[in-house]
Amino acid sequence: MSRSKIVSKWLLGILFVVAGANHFLRPEFYLRIMPAYLPWHRALVEISGVAEIVLGVLLLIPKTSRCAAWGLIALLIAVFPANLNMAMHAANFPEMEPWMLWARLPLQAVLIGWAWSFTRNG
């Protein structure tokens, strides 16, 4: 694996570990993102936070890297409705510009592509 791919993998892994930890440092923010139709908001925030931390760490372990990358892809797809809900209810997030909320949506595709790059050997 090239040096740039190793650095890229570490950046993605650390990004998810930090993002996951943030679910526990600022749970109120993530609770506001949750769509009303989903049950157990707090549990889902905590589960997704743990998943981000675990998958971020597993991405950095060669034996579990590919599986973790697929897990991150699944997680990013699973949380997309929450990000869409956030964009559609921008008034609930006055600390962020509405364009930033909409920009998060294509960012999900970028993150999926980034994680997908680690699903293959080499």
pLDDT per position in the chain (122 positions), as tens? 789 999 999 999 999 999 999 999 999 999 999 999 999 999 999 999 999 999 999 999 999 999 999 999 999 999 999 999 999 999 999 999 999 999 999 999 999 999 999 998 65
Cα angle: 10, vertex 11, 17; to 5 degrees: 85
What φ, ψ does residue 109 adopt, rounded to 5°? -65, -40
CB of 76 within 8 A of CB of 114?
no
Whole-number pLDDT of residue 122: 52
Q: Is the dihedral of CA 106, 69, 47, 19 positive or negative?
A: negative
What φ, ψ does residue 110 adopt, rounded to 5°? -65, -45
Whole-number pLDDT of residue 25: 98
